Structures are given as structure tokens and as C-alpha cells.
Amino acid sequence: MIIDEPFDAPAIIAAKRDRQALQDDEIDWVVDAFTRDVVAPEQMSALAMAILLNGMDRREIARWTAAMIASGERMDFSGLSRPTADKHSTGGVGDKITLPLAPLVAACGVAVPQLSGRGLGHTGGTLDKLESIPGWRADVSNEEMLAQLEDVGAVICAAGAGLAPADKKLYALRDVTGTVEAIPLIASSIMSKKIAEGTGALVLDVKVGSGAFMKTEADARELAETMVALGTDAGVRTVALLTGMSVPLGLTAGNALEVRESIEVLAGGGPDDVVQLTLALAREMLAAAGRDDVDPADALADGRAMDVWRRMIGAQGGDPDAALPTARETHVVTAETSGTVEQVEAMAVGLAAWRLGAGRSRPGEAVQAGAGVELHVRPGDEVSAGDPLLTLHTDTPERFGRALAALEGGLVVGTGSAPEQSVVIDRIG
């Protein structure tokens, strides 16, 4: 049976290619038709590239977001006994913040319904990281999610099939077609899921720098302002932090490696930058949920956040006491000369981790749980010739060559000084 469609994909692609604004009914149709498989993946790929190159105005972005939401269901957390707050990061290298943050905020009395995704390009995915924990599962039904939020206070899981299904399809397509960085598509992807999710408050961590999708502060600010406006208009208390991503967060990039570092933070240790950003975002989430009378640093210090972590992992089938996977092969990169570490470039480290097997190059591809990069130095450290700079981890040693190529020029040891690095650059909202 042939169904007469009101529009055709080539005409819409051509309109955006020629820098025209798409009309509301065109946007509604193309998102719905893509969800119904009437618009083919190659057609949506072409449209995504046209949007990347030519942009969208605020009306188009708002309508695209609404169409994404309309493609599925909406959740409701109003029946919970505590307020809700969520956080979303635009993605960076070594960005494991969600892992300690969700149980920390839950330990302070605010429920965290954290719908997370898999890796995009050179940036790691929260679900990929957590799946390195033996037994842990990302798929949780709506009923299980509500029960876990009431009982434990935090859940980190994949968005259900019924929540913005159009975005789920487009998210996977963007990852492999060079269109991840499109601001309209980033904003609508994030906000369609978060608005449909039904959280009462949302804190956005918008990364800026060489290892982020937004390389400049101006682009990051535009994205943050766009998302804050989308959330506010939808009735969600929304704030954004612009945070630095020219240097990897913490000392690891890779799935199990980052889980191990997150557990160190929950145990009261961990790298200073990871702890600082976790606490900054926790304070914003608590304030947005009306609990700014609580200091999250106390919940880290007294072990309450760790207790919630263990319960959260166990509730989703994981064993919090199980040994994490380790890669079968390692390769240590050492300093060729003595001096000061002037640069540890986030993009170089992210690409290396990706090439080692921590990320994927096509939809559905398996990732290696133990693959990644372990840093032994930070910018400003003094090293001697022969000192270890980083260790590469992988199950497939034939990957070392391409990973080392990605790192060329990314680690600089010289006689100068390292630039100052800000964890939080600005607050918007």
C-alpha cells in the first residue's frame, strides 16, 4: 500500500542546503517520516550535514526539539517523595562526572533520573563505561526506574525505546557521518530527551576547548543559551556551566579506567579537577531542586555517596565488588627530554583512546572495556627524560600504532610553562 506523503525528503534537503529556513510542517514531517523509515538514513545524513553547514534559527530548533519529543512518550516523576534534578554533559575526554555525581546528589536528598548515552566520536559514553562493571545493565523499564528512584534515589540508564525514538535513530547516525558538532542537533538531541524525561530541574555541563565538540567559548555559549532557553520555555528549571575541555578530565580516558577513577572520587580521593567539577555540578543541581541548604562535600567525606553508588549499581544487576576488566596489552609512552609538561591535548588523548578500542566507528560496534589512556602527568608537572607520560591499554596491540599517531604533538614537554586551566569558566541561566 502506497501512502501519499505531504512532502519529499530531497526537497527539504535542498532547502536547507540552499540556506533556507525549514517551515514547521516540514520539520514535523521529516522527523516523523525518519522515525517511520520513510526518510532513509542516507537522506537524513544529508539533511544533518546541511544543518551542520548552514544552521537553524531559534524557531527551527524549538520546532525540531518539539518534533523529537512528539515522536515518543513523556515520563512523569511528580509522584516521587523527593524532588528531581538531572545533569547532561555535551561530552569530553575523561568526562566520568556522571558516575560520582548521580549518587552524590541522591545522597543529599534529590532524586537523579540520569538518562545517558553511548560514546559519540572521540568522547566516551557513560553507558559504555558502566557496562564494564560485571552484570550491570543499562536497559531499565519505566516502572523499574521509578521504583529505583524512590528506593535508591539515583538511576543511570539508557533512554527507553519510547522516549524520543527519533533522537535515538539520529544520534547513532550523527556519530558516523561527521555531523556530531551541529549546534542545532546537539541542542535538540539533549533537550528533547531531558524535557520528555520529565525532570524538574536540569544542569547542563557545556564543554569548551580542543577536546570538546564546541572548540570556542562563543560556540559553547551559543549552545548553552539555546538549551537553557529550550528548557526554561518547557517549564524545566535549567542552568548551564561552561567548563574547560582543552585538557582531559582526570587521569583516565576509557571505560573501566574511568569507572575505577570515579570510585576513587566516591572514596574521598581522585583527581582534584574531577572532584571540583563534581561538587560544582552537585551544588547547582541541589540549588535548582530547592536543596541548597545541603553541602555535597559532606556526603563525599562521610561515605554516604559511596553507599548510594553501591546500591545503584546493585539495583541494575551490577556487582560493586567485582574486579573491573583490564586490557591484555599495555604500552608506556615516556618523556624524550627533561622539562615541564606544557600541554596534554584533550583531543589527542580522546582520539588515542578511541583508536585503542574504547569507542566505536560504526553504530552497534562493541567497545573494549579495558581500552583507553592512563595519564601519569598533568600540564605544569616537571619530568625527566625516560619518565612515563602515559600508558596505552588495549586488547589488540595492533592498535598501538594508530593511537601513537593520534598523540603526536598532543603531549609537549619543553622549557616553558603550562597555561592556567579553569574547571568552570562561566554560568548561564
**In whole angstroms, what is the distance from residue 280 CA to residue 274 CA?**
10
And the C-alpha cell for 427? 554560568
**In whole angstroms, what is the distance from residue 207 CA to residue 194 CA?**
18
Give Cα separations from 192 to 64, 79, 286, 429 (angstroms): 9, 22, 22, 19
Q: Residue 356 in 3-state DSSP?
A: helix
**Length of the chain in terms of residues written:** 429
Pairing of strands 201-208, 86-89: parallel
Q: Give just the sign of the alpha carbon dihedral 150, 155, 159, 161.
A: negative
And the C-alpha cell for 326? 583490564
**Closest CA relative to residue 151, chosen from 379, 321, 308, 289:** 308
Which helix (H) or strand (E) element contains residue 340?
strand 339-344
What angle in degrees, to the nearest 10, is found between the helix axes of 24-35 and 165-175? 80
**In whole angstroms, what is the distance from residue 142 CA to residue 148 CA?**
10
What residues are annotated to the active site? 88, 167, 174, 189, 193
**In whole angstroms, what is the distance from residue 98 CA to residue 113 CA?**
11
Q: Residue 60 in 3-state DSSP?
A: helix
And the C-alpha cell for 166? 527519533
**Closest CA relative to residue 238, chosen from 197, 276, 293, 299:** 197
8 Å CB contact between 120 and 126: no
And the C-alpha cell for 205? 555541563
Please name the residue ranges forming H helices in 140-269. 142-151, 165-175, 183-197, 217-233, 255-266
**In whole angstroms, what is the distance from residue 91 CA to residue 358 CA?**
15
**In whole angstroms, what is the distance from residue 179 CA to residue 207 CA?**
17
8 Å CB contact between 215 and 208: yes
Place of cell 592498535: 399
